[in-house]
Every structure is written in structure tokens, then in C-alpha cells.
């Protein structure tokens, strides 16, 4: 057997076996620190085993206790490194050929961007999962370089009002991207979005900064736009071992739009359109997950841009991690409970075993030929 098998075997052994038994959707909850000491804290209990108890401020007695169960709960004192430590095995499985999707869900201000990106212009110590994940991919690539040669590419887009925008393009305002099916990627992709090859964490940091500036530019035009759009950082991994086995996988890192309900009676015009789009794509995400849970034959991926793009990473063949974010302050009780309820439903979903995307060079070349023939055909039409 080639060196490739050795590496994969080692890594699959323990962690992946345990994870496969648990099913391929896991839910971590994260409660951020409280920022207003004058507001009461409603967190009653956080257990090592993933239990979370919160108190209904209107019914502070025993019957007002709401108990939730997740794969893990991170409390206000959890550090970025602690959160990443429990995410790391999933990132490792991307290098082994699995598709992985990690998304942050929760109302605006609950800490989604903190978990995924880290604080704006933050110190290196507080970098989020996006950076830590890529950093770890480089480490693994380096460690395995004698047996597998890896290439890592990234794309960064924003989905706003059901339009996909390229955050790595020089002029991101003009490009509206189409999501297309890609045989070689085993799913859907954005062939026209800027794809950057990255070789170091410095390059990654620069790209992320570029993308964030691009995102911020439009948020001055439409106030607080970033809380109403989804940002998707996609990492494509391509590996080839010494005997010509090829693996392709991708990692989607998604900072979702705020999940708060917008009171439609108070908004009109563009705002109303915006609110409808956000509700639509978040509820589509919920519908997809529920359809997967019920093992329906039809999964409604096509109902939103977000679910279509994530299709290959949300299905039965991928590994999914949801971060459900909550605020500890009493005045966000309603929104936090609705996030936790959604997350609780997601955590009961059980998917089948994830699929390893590994093929011989011949098969991969044939797939690439099909792809280019399809392109040629499309150009002729």
C-alpha cells in the first residue's frame, strides 16, 4: 500500500470512528460574555457534557428552566483556541478527502463573526476558525509532504438578497456570480469566482483582509449590511500521493446572516425585500436539514443560493458542524431560545457515513475531460 493509505488510516482510526458513530452533523453552542453588567444573566448552567440550562426571566422558578443538549457548549470564558481544538479533527478530515461545512448561526451581536473571523483588526491571539483552520491545513500539508503533495485554493463570496458577489475580485460590485454544477468537485461551485492559491498564513491573512474590506465598502451604503448577508469562505484542497491517487475536498466556512426575526410591519421597500430574502435563505437551510433528518427522497437544496452552494457539504456525504450562538443577557431571551431550539432540532439529525473523495488519476482525468467538453458544448450553444 502507498504512503497515502498509511496517513489516512492513522487519522481515521480513532476520532473519525467515534465521529462516524455520532453521525455527521454536530452542533456546538457558544455563549458570549455579557457586555452589560446591569442586565441580568440568564445562563443557569453549562455542563461538560453539552448541557445548557437557561432561565426564563419571566418565570425564574423551577418551571422556567429550559434545558438543551448539544455536542458541546462553550461558555463565556472559552477561548478561541479551546473552540478550535474541538474543531481541529474536522479540519484534519478535509485533508483526508472529506467535504466539511462549518457554519455560524445566531442573532446579530451573538458572536458569529468572532468565532469565524475573530474581532475586527484583532490581535493574532484572537483569530477565529477561518484563520486557525487554514493555518492547520498548512501544517498538515507540510507534515505529509513526503507522501502527498497538496494544493490549497480559496474563494470568498458574499450572498446578499439571493445574489452571489465575489469578495476577492478587484471590483466586487460588478460581478454577480452563477452557481454551477461541477463534476470534478462532486457538487456545486462558483467557476467564475476568483480563486487564489495560498501557500502561507500571511497570504491567507492578506486575502481575508482584502475580502473584509470589500465587504465593508458596501456596508456603508446599506447600513449594517454584513449582518444581513452570508459570507462564505471556501477552501479547496487537492492532493496527489506518490502512486497517483488524487483526492479533492472542500471546506466551507460560513458566517450566516443574523437569525433575528424582522418585524415586517415596521419595514418597507428595500428593507422588506432584504428581510424576506434573509428569512427565506435561513428557513431554506432549516428545511434542507430537516429533510435530511427525515431521510426524504427530495432535499430542497435548490430553494436558495446558500443551500445550493453548500449542497455537496450538507448532504449525507459530508461532515457538518453548526455553531449556535447565544447572548447571555436576559433581554435576548426570545431570540436566544429560538436559536437554541433550531440548533436542538439540527442536532437530532443523523446522516450516513461521510464519503471519501479519492480517485485514481485516470478517473480524475476523465472527469476533467467531461468538464471541458461540457464547457465547449455550452460555448457552442
> Quick one: which segment of 22-30, 107-115, 153-161, 200-208 binds Mg ion (CB under 5 A)?
107-115
Distance CA 154, CA 105 (A): 22
Q: Which is nearer to ligand ADP, 114 or 236 (CB)?
A: 114
Cell of 340: 437554541
Please name the residue ranges forming H helices in 228-332: 269-293, 305-309, 311-314
Work out whether 111 is an interface residue with ligand ADP (CB under 6 A): yes
111 binds, among ligand ADP, Mg ion, none (CB under 5 to 8 A by kind): ligand ADP
26: buried, middle or exposed (CB in 10 Å: 19+, 13-18, 0-12)?
A: buried
Distance CA 230, CA 281 (A): 9
Smallest separation, CB 220 to Mg ion (Å) = 16
107 marked as part of a ligand binding site? yes
Rounded to 5 degrees, φ, ψ at 174 are: -90, -20
Q: Which is nearer to ligand ADP, 33 or 352 (CB)?
A: 33
Work out whether 33 is an interface residue with ligand ADP (CB under 6 A): yes
Work out whether 106 is an interface residue with ligand ADP (CB under 6 A): yes
The three-class DSSP label of residue 178 is: coil
Number of residues that bind Mg ion (CB under 5 A): 2
Rounded to 5 degrees, φ, ψ at 306 are: -60, -50
365 marked as part of a ligand binding site? no
32 binds, among Mg ion, ligand ADP, none (CB under 5 to 8 A by kind): ligand ADP
> Quick one: which segment of 53-61, 86-94, 102-110, 277-285 binds ligand ADP (CB under 6 A)?
102-110
315 binds, among Mg ion, ligand ADP, none (CB under 5 to 8 A by kind): none
Distance CA 138, CA 115 (A): 20
* Residue closest to ligand ADP (Cβ): 111
Which residues make Cβ contacts (< 8 Å) with residue 378, sequence separation at least 6? none
Residues contributing to the site for ligand ADP (CB under 6 A): 32-33, 106, 108-114, 119, 227, 325
Amino acid at each position: 500500500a502507498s504512503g497515502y493509505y498509511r496517513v489516512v488510516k492513522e487519522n481515521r482510526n480513532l476520532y473519525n470512528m467515534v465521529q462516524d458513530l455520532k453521525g455527521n452533523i454536530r452542533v456546538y453552542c457558544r455563549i458570549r460574555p455579557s457586555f452589560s453588567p446591569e442586565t441580568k444573566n440568564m445562563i443557569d448552567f453549562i455542563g461538560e457534557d453539552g448541557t445548557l440550562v437557561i432561565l426564563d426571566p419571566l418565570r425564574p422558578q423551577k418551571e422556567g428552566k429550559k434545558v438543551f443538549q448539544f455536542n458541546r457548549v462553550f461558555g463565556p470564558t472559552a477561548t478561541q483556541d479551546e473552540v478550535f481544538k474541538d474543531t481541529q479533527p474536522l479540519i484534519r478530515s478535509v485533508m483526508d478527502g472529506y467535504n466539511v461545512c462549518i457554519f455560524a448561526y445566531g442573532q446579530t451581536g451573538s458572536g458569529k463573526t468572532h468565532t469565524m473571523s475573530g474581532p475586527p483588526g484583532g490581535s493574532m491571539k484572537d483569530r477565529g476558525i477561518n484563520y486557525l483552520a487554514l493555518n492547520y491545513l498548512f501544517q498538515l500539508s507540510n507534515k505529509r509532504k513526503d507522501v502527498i503533495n497538496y494544493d490549497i485554493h480559496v474563494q470568498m463570496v458574499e450572498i446578499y438578497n439571493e445574489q452571489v458577489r465575489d469578495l476577492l475580485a478587484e471590483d466586487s460590485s460588478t460581478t454577480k456570480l452563477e452557481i454551477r454544477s461541477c463534476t470534478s468537485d462532486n457538487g456545486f461551485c462558483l467557476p467564475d469566482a476568483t480563486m487564489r492559491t495560498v501557500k502561507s498564513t500571511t497570504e491567507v491573512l492578506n486575502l481575508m483582509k482584502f475580502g473584509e474590506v470589500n465587504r465593508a465598502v458596501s456596508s456603508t451604503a446599506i447600513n449594517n449590511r454584513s449582518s444581513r448577508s452570508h459570507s462564505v469562505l471556501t477552501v479547496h484542497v487537492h492532493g496527489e500521493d506518490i502512486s497517483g491517487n488524487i483526492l479533492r475536498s472542500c471546506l466551507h466556512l460560513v458566517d450566516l446572516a443574523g437569525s433575528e426575526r424582522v418585524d415586517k410591519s415596521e419595514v418597507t421597500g428595500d428593507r422588506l425585500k432584504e428581510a424576506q430574502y434573509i428569512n427565506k435563505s435561513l428557513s431554506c437551510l432549516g428545511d434542507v436539514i430537516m429533510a435530511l433528518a427525515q431521510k426524504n427522497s427530495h432535499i430542497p437544496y435548490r430553494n436558495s443560493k446558500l443551500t445550493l452552494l453548500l449542497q455537496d457539504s450538507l448532504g449525507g456525504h459530508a461532515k457538518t458542524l453548526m455553531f449556535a450562538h447565544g447572548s447571555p443577557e436576559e433581554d435576548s431571551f426570545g431570540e436566544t431560545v429560538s436559536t437554541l431550539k433550531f440548533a436542538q432540532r439540527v442536532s437530532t439529525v443523523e446522516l450516513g457515513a461521510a464519503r471519501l473523495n479519492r480517485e485514481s488519476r485516470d478517473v480524475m482525468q476523465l472527469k476533467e475531460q467531461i468538464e471541458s467538453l461540457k464547457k465547449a458544448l455550452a460555448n457552442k450553444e
